[in-house]
Amino acid sequence: MASKSTLMWIQRLVWICIYGGLLAIVLGLFLAAAEPEQAAGIQSVGGVFVAIGVLLIYVRSRLNETPSNRN
């Protein structure tokens, strides 16, 4: 069980990781001709961030919102 604010925080983090990782991968593709070693490093970091985003999607799918006890 998680609070609504925690679930929203995870959802935001998911998209930040996925889009940031994809942006890093594309940046690595553009740098590949000039600096192949740096490009490979940037692409690796981007891939890790995309993987973290996908993992967070799984984590978020397993969490339920805590029902509020307000009457």
State pLDDT tens for residues 34-64: 999 999 999 999 999 999 999 999 999 998 8
Range of the structural domain that residue 19 is part of: 13-62
Q: Is residue 7 part of a domain?
A: no
Q: Is residue 53 part of a domain?
A: yes
pLDDT value for 48: 98
Q: In the predicted model, what is the mean pLDDT of residues 25-41?
A: 95
Cα–Cα dist 26/52, whole Å: 17
pLDDT band at 15; cut points 50, 70, 90: very high
Q: Are 42 and 29 in contact (CB under 8 A)?
A: no
- Is pLDDT at 70 greater than 80 in this prediction? no
Q: Is residue 2 part of a domain?
A: no
- Give, in order, the Cα–Cα distances in Å from 49 to each of 5, 39, 64, 68: 22, 15, 24, 33
Residues in the chain: 71
Cα–Cα dist 57/41, whole Å: 25
**Which pTM does this prediction carry?**
0.84
